[in-house]
Amino acid sequence: MLEVIDKGAAGADHPVPLLFVHGAWHAAWCWDEHFLGYFADRGYRAVALSFRGHGDSPASKPLRHLRYADYLDDLNSVAGGLPVPPVVIGHSMGGLIVQKYLESRDAPAAVLMCSAPPQGLLRSGLRWLRRHPWHFAKLSVSGESLPYVSTPELARERFFSPNTPEVLVRRYAARLQEESSRSGIDGLMQLPRPERVRAPLLVLGAAEDGAVTPEEVRATARAYRTEPVFFSGMGHNVMLEPGWEAVAAHIDGWLTANGL
């Protein structure tokens, strides 16, 4: 059984549930800190899953062998268990999984938050290689990446803005977990096909993002024929950063304007 955190209830104002999809090294907890309660309080049913091998979701094979196909199966399973197709909201790697999901599933809408672009993770990997060549070499051999994202210094560099309070960086860095090395390969090879996606998309980015560049956010928006919205002074983990309320409020406003 996958870990699913489920808050709120759909009502007349917001009849469609929201399904939140986490990124690499994270789990459903990252949505439960702020976003699930925020949207539940505004009359939505807000649901977050942990992919197998993440959070409290078990896996039938070693984490390092899990693939995007496994994560996509998890997303399909949770979405299929809801009474109506949900709005899917994906962050970072989870945004790439959401894009793959939308190729073959109808959804009333989707939100991509600091998402990996349709072009995949190649540029992100190259930036990591240039910035920390020794880290990249060691993780390429061991298949273990957690030590290179989970110290307070490295977590801030990738996930948080320079102004995020140290106490928050340390708290959330301690909750990060190992990620599948195979999923990193799939991020280079299993690329979305935007031409197959019919759902309206909201594309969000962060000006101080250490993982996804503004140009990659713009590339995502272009692929889905929309314009991106950027939040100044915020890092990659916009759902955990100070100022997260502005991000949530923008999503709420966009959903309401679209009758959701």
Cβ pair 33, 20 in contact under 8 A: no
| Mean per-residue pLDDT of the chain | 95
Burial of 135 (0-12, 13-18, 19+ CB in 10 A): middle
pLDDT of 177 reads 97
Q: Which of 25-34, 60-69, 139-148, 242-251 has the lowest mean pLDDT?
A: 139-148
Interatomic CA distance for residues 50 and 75, integer angstroms: 9
pLDDT at 47 over 90: yes
E strand or H helix that includes residue 206: strand 201-206
Instruction: Give tens-digit pLDDT for 160-179.
Output: 999 999 999 999 999 999 99
pLDDT top residue among 190 and 103: 103
The answer to whether 177 and 25 have CB atoms below 8 angstroms apart is yes
Average pLDDT score over residue span 59-86? 96
Q: What is the mean pLDDT of residues 77-85?
A: 97
Q: pLDDT tens digits, residue range 180-198? A: 998 888 888 889 999 999 9
Give the chain's largest Cα–Cα span. 54
Beta 45-49 vs 4-8: how paired, if at all? antiparallel
The per-residue pLDDT for 2 is 97
The pLDDT score that the predictor gives to residue 210 is 96
> What's the pLDDT tens digit per position in 25-35?
999 999 999 99
